[in-house]
Amino acid sequence: MNTDHYTYRVTWSAEDGEHVGLCAEFPSLSWLAATPEEALAGMRQLVAEVVADLNASGEPVPVPLADRTYSGEFRVRIPPELHRSLAIQAAEQKVSLNRLASAKLAAS
C-alpha cells in the first residue's frame, strides 16, 4: 500500500496554537507541529506506521480516496418542497434535474 496516495491536509489549530496535519482516510489521527511542513511530515510518518501495524496484524487498511473507483452516481434525499423547487428551476432552464443538481454541486 502506497501511503503517498492518501489525502493529507494541513490546517492551523487556534486552540493548540500549532499547525495540524490530517488524513481524510484516518480521521482519528492528527499531528501537531510548529510549521506546516513539519505537520505534514509528521502526519505522513504516523500514517505509514499505522498502515504497517494494520498490515502486521492482518487488519483491513483503508483504500486511499484517490485510488477508489467512483461511479459518478449517488442518491440524496431532500424534502419534497426542495425537490419541487429544483424541478421547476430545471424546467425553466430547459435542462434535466440531474444537470441542474450537478451544476449546483459544482458551483459549491
pTM, whole model, 2 decimals? 0.76
B/e letters for 55-75, b = 16+ CB within 10 Å, e = fewer, are eeeeeeebebeeeeeeeeeee
Cβ atoms 7, 66 nearer than 8 A: yes
Rounded to an integer, what distance in angstroms lies between the CA atom of residue 54 and that of residue 33?
25
Sketch out the chain's domains with CATH numbers. 3-66 (3.30.160), 71-107 (no CATH)
Provide mean pLDDT across the span 89-103: 96
32-79 pLDDT, tens per residue?
999 999 999 999 999 999 999 999 999 999 999 999 999 999 999 999
- The predicted structure's pLDDT at residue 108: 83
Question: If pLDDT is split at 50, 70 and 90, which confidence band does 2 have?
Answer: confident
